[in-house]
């Protein structure tokens, strides 16, 4: 998932896009996104990077300037 955020830097990535990008089209378990976003936020909490939730759209990775 971190690779998807890096590759599509500055773009809001939808839940459906992240599921397909990370786990493939066959996996439709949307909770995987919640768990992975939570884990990434924990890992990145002391860095200059944050992942924002954009209500109704998806997620956006930004630098904390």
pTM score:
0.86
Burial class (CB in 10 A: 0-12, 13-18, 19+), 9: exposed
Q: Give the tokens for residue 64.
A: 């904390």
The Cα 56–Cα 36 span in angstroms is 18
Provide the pLDDT confidence category of residue 26 given band limits of 50, 70 and 90: confident
Give yes or no for residue 28 having a pLDDT over 70: no
CATH of domain 2-63: 1.10.10.10
Q: pLDDT higher for 54 or 25?
A: 54
Query: Which residue ranges make up each domain of the chain?
Result: 2-63
């Amino acid at each position: 998932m971190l690779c998807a955020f890096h590759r599509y830097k500055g773009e809001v990535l939808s839940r459906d896009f992240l599921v397909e990008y990370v786990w493939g089209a066959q996996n439709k378990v949307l909770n995987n996104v919640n768990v992975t976003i939570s884990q990434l936020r924990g890992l990145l909490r002391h860095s200059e990077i944050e992942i924002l939730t954009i209500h109704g759209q998806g997620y956006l990775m930004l630098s904390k300037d």
